[in-house]
Amino acid sequence: MDSHFGNVIWTNHVLKRLRERGISQSDAWATWRNPQESRRGKVPGSRIYYRKYKGNQIEVVAKQNERHEWVILSVWSRPIREHKENTLSFWKFMFRKLFH
């Protein structure tokens, strides 16, 4: 792993977390570079960028330093929980309504 991959600064902390969590540096970079969404991070001035990959959502925390260089601070992934509605067909609904 490269501490200046993609013209971004990667801290030693984040490089260690990428290895531990089995996240590729290129997936983390692509998430930061082209997120589906982002939100404000806990660290002042930081943002959390996220993108869905293969049943997981990768989240990247990044911030610009005083020289306006982007620094990746942390990366993690979480499973995507698909919300399935409990829907009944019209006939099952009517059957239940009439006979229960």
pLDDT in tens, 59-90: 999 999 999 999 999 999 999 876 555 565 66
Full residue range of the structural domain in which residue 78 is found? 5-99
**8 A C-beta contact, residue 57 and residue 77:** yes
The structural domain count of the chain equals 1
Cα(49)–Cα(19) distance, rounded to whole angstroms? 19
How many angstroms separate the CA atoms of 15 and 4, rounded? Answer: 11
Q: Using CA of residue 12, residue 17, residue 19, residue 24, what is the dihedral sign?
A: negative
**3-class SS string, 77-95:** EEECCCCCCCCCCHHHHHH
pLDDT-derived band at 53, boundaries 50, 70, 90: confident
In this prediction, residue 98 has a pLDDT band, given cuts at 50, 70 and 90, of: confident
- The conformation of residue 97, written as its DSSP 8-state character, comes to H
| The pLDDT value given to residue 55 | 86
pTM: 0.77
